[in-house]
Amino acid sequence: MTSPAIGIHDLAVATTSRVVDLDDLAARTGVDPAKFHVGLGQDQMSIPGPDEDIVTMGAAAAQRIIERHGVEGIRTLFFATETGIDQSRAAGVHVHELLGLPRTVRVVELKQACYSATAALQSAAGLIARNPDERVLVIASDVARYEVDTAAEPTQGAGAVAFLVTADPALAVLETAAGVHTAEVDDFWRPNDSMTAVVDGKLSISAYLDGIAGAWDDYASRGGAPIAEIDYFCHHQPFTKMAVKAHRALGQHVGVELDPELVLATTGYNRRIGNSYTASLYIALAALLEGDRDLAGARIGMFSYGSGSVSEFFSLVVQDGYRAVTRAAETEALLAGRDRVDIDAYRALHALGSRDSNVDVDIPGESAVPFHFAGISGRARRYTRS
């Protein structure tokens, strides 16, 4: 019996209701705006309101998938994040309740820095290979938060994606070959007692570049497509200039000159959302698929990196008729509809990132989003629908 093609059937992006323009941050901090726009490749960063977090963003993205495709056949929900809200319960359990998913769904949270959404994709493919009638809902959702007045501050952001993994997908088929690379590196991590990450910026860049070389070599050794047969490249984007650096480094590693346009076509959304950790690679994919180019039949090289570090290189093939399921207008409306906040308002929101779970609090649902973090009661987080 021939195995079915497996891949991404639909993909939806979500973000927060608020945004900071990096021109405003540059003015406040006395930095040349070009350092952000050119040096980092970033223009804006999404900021969560008091009633927004990884659950509300993830549920908003997943709701759009469910509204289009229903819940039939969904027996697994993977929630990928590195900014989890609990050391025990998966954030996806809250999403399961908010969306009213069937009880007959397994829910699991995956963590390995920014990489784990790719682990979710590959795990989903394994489940569907065993039973092609099943569908797997994957959510990747994160809030990147760093200390104010640091070099990392302009690389903050918040975003989510949800995608449906199925047999015979309408959007893109996942090819079998995949290359992986793991190396213990203290480049970026967040201790249990810290709301912000510990970052060695220079080491993180070098570890990322080591990861792409190692993952590519493993991909090539396992029958992956020759680099000349890859039409576009999506690289993990902690800031979009990093994807450009990675693209150049991959070409040098392989011994070819790669056209920068093959990666620049993926950066449009991440420039406006900022770093979304696990979601960023798939937000890059959405930007490519929802752009003006005709991608039917194109092969897309995907590089997933998670600090610490784990890397993977794999490929997708875009399906004929894929535009029928893309969401360009929806995504643009989300980005354009955010409220621009000034630096004082943003920093007040930033301070809310650290909340004592011993203190009960009710939080009004003030943000223009479909789901809300409603507060803490009895040390448990509560959520509501609009």
Binding site as annotated, residues for (3S)-3-hydroxy-3-methylglutaryl-CoA: 32, 146, 245, 275
Other beta carbons within 10 Å of 151: 13
CA nearest to 140, candidates 121, 120, 161: 161
- Per the CB < 8 A criterion, the answer to whether 93 and 139 are in contact is no
Prior bond of 88 cis (ω within 30°): no
Q: Strand 371-377: give its sheet, edge to edge.
A: 361-362, 371-377, 380-385
Q: Which of 236, 247, 350, 372 is catalytic?
A: 236
Q: Answer for the pair 135, 68: CB distance below 8 angstroms, yes or no.
A: no
DSSP E strand stretches across the chain: 6-15, 18-21, 44-47, 74-80, 106-110, 135-144, 157-167, 172-182, 188-189, 198-199, 232-235, 299-306, 310-318, 339-340, 361-362, 371-377, 380-385
Largest CA distance in the chain: 64
236 is catalytic: yes
Q: Is 347 exposed, middle or buried (0-12, 13-18, 19+ CB in 10 A)?
A: middle
User: Rg of the chain over CA atoms, in angstroms?
Assistant: 20
In DSSP terms, which residues pair with 44 in a beta bridge? 21
Spatial CA neighbour of 149 closest among 196, 85, 209: 196
Annotated binding-site positions: 32, 146, 245, 275
For 254, residues 6+ apart whose C-beta sits below 8 A from its C-beta are: 216, 227
Residue identified by tokens 């007045």 is 149
274 DSSP assignment? B
Catalytic residue among 9, 52, 114, 175, which? Answer: 114
Please identify which of the residues 52, 82, 109, 175 carries the catalytic annotation: 82
Encode burial over 278-299: b for 16+ CB neighbours within 10 A, e otherwise. Answer: bbbbbbbbbbbbbbeeebeebb
- Look at strands 339-340 and 18-21 and give their pairing: parallel
All residues at 6 or more sequence positions from 36 whose CB lies less than 8 Å from its CB, including other chains:
22, 25, 26, 42, 43, 154
Beta bridge partners of residue 306, listed in sequence order: 310
Residues serving a catalytic function are 82, 114, 236
